[in-house]
Chain A
């Protein structure tokens, strides 16, 4: 059973507590949402990079040359 590390700020006591079924379900939902968000981010970054490279190709430049030109 996964556990969480809980710090009581009023006492400084640290406890290792097993997650409840509800917490496990919530973590699963959060993990799925995070995986989707990360996949979306990576897809957006890849699309942006491909767009840059396509523009560079139209101009007869390498992506590195285009970066230098715009820098």
Chain B
């Protein structure tokens, strides 16, 4: 399923720097080797270790770049073109990523923290848009539109909470990690 999605979706930031195929191929290679290794193929496991050693720094760096660019573009939409709001949004997401990653994070933890910060940015944007809709900023919106937007927001929220859970789980598995506390605030009305 993962490979199919990578096939159909674009990686615009990677394309821009001409590394699209390289990083995408590495991710596919990791997916394929992981599958084989999980199935008990010892050769694949050895090969996977080699691939992880070789490709992780680059993949992590590129994915982190994508996450940051993505957040910048979300900030642009969320700020409505007000530069200091845009900057504050980006900075807040960066701080969140740093805070969640903690001190001396492993490359994997950094990557998971970047994902959490990006999903946080998306949920913030969706929440702001929806409160605007419900608050009557955009009049004459159809109920179908509002229902679809709410569904998208629910889906992002689920993904966001799942990303937090995944990081907590990875830390637990890797052991000797600090406690991870998540405070979720829901604003109604």
Q: Do A and B come from one complex?
A: no
